[in-house]
Structure 1
Amino acid sequence: MTASLTTHVLDTAGGTPAGGMTIDLFRIEGDERVHLASAVTNDDGRTDAPILPDADHGTYEIVFRCAAWLDARAPERRRFLGDVPVRFGIDEDAHYHVPLLLSPFGYSTYRGS
């Protein structure tokens, strides 16, 4: 068995899923980031399939492209956040879920189920 990785994004300021956001996934190898996948969230704020269905143990980084997403929805509003990188480790053969709760001025994340 290998690990799998899913994600979703919720717009906590709007109270809705964050559909249409680009997400990039990287594997960290020493000082290098190796691009593995890109996806765009659907109307439910999720990717249509696991962003990484067969993940090896190691260090990964998801970059949520929040700046473009926030600017497209409220170009007149100032925002504090740019893109949000989340670096995490996969060290067991299990399902990993890394969601992002987003507002224009802050975010939180956690290992979900």
Structure 2
Amino acid sequence: MSQVTTHILDTSFGTPAPDVAVSLSRQQENTWTCIAESATNKDGRVTDLLAKDVIVPPGIYKLRFETKLYFETRDLSSFYPFIEVVFYISDSEHYHVPLLLNPFGYSTYRGT
């Protein structure tokens, strides 16, 4: 399993959110560098963001979820054209960062 994984649940429908572009970036000084890109699968999961054997060094990272197109394809407008979740990686453990999403709100947490 990748060191960083995520999934998206659309709480307005109670279903996974497929085909949402997701990127992982690392902060270096005051600059963000994208280190990986993928998209959610039919189950709303991103399991291939990093190769299984890649361990990123400690630091500040962010996941960016491109939500505008997801909602547009469902004929919905959204308050959030994208969502960025910033978090700190301190060791080589697995970091699962789920996103609970609807057109006018979102929530996230560190999962397992």
Query: Does the alignment reach a TM-score above 0.5?
Result: yes
- The match for 1:72 is 73
C-alpha distance in 2, partners of 1:92/1:48?
A: 19
- The match for 1:59 is 60
C-alpha distance in 1, partners of 2:86/2:27?
A: 9
Q: CA deviation at 1:60?
A: 0.4
C-alpha distance in 1, partners of 2:105/2:80?
A: 7
Structure 2 gaps, min length 5? none
- The match for 2:109 is 110
RMSD, matched Cα:
1.4
Q: CA deviation at 1:26?
A: 0.5
- The match for 2:33 is 34
TM-score, length of structure 2 as denominator length: 0.90
Give the percent of matched residue pairs that are identical in Structure 1 and Structure 2: 41
Structure 1 gaps, min length 5? none
Number of equivalenced pairs: 108
For the residue of structure 1 that corresponds to 2:26, the secondary structure is strand
C-alpha distance in 2, partners of 1:79/1:94?
A: 34
TM-score, length of structure 1 as denominator length: 0.89
